[in-house]
Amino acid sequence: MKAVTKTEKRMRRRNRIRAKVAGTAERPRLSVFRSNRFISVQIINDQSGTTLASASSRGMAQKPGERAKEVGKAIAKVAKEKGIRAVVFDRGGYLYSGAIKALADSAREGGLEF
Mind listing the pLDDT tens digit for each residue in 63-113?
766 899 999 999 999 999 999 999 999 999 999 999 999 999 999 999 999
**What is the model's pLDDT at position 1?**
73
**What is the model's pLDDT at position 48?**
93
Pairing mode, strands 29-34 and 39-45: antiparallel
CATH architecture group of domain 6-109: 2-Layer Sandwich (3.30)
Q: Quick check: 78 and 69 in contact, CB under 8 A?
A: no
Each residue's pLDDT tens digit, 14-58: 999 999 998 888 999 999 999 988 999 999 999 999 999 999 999
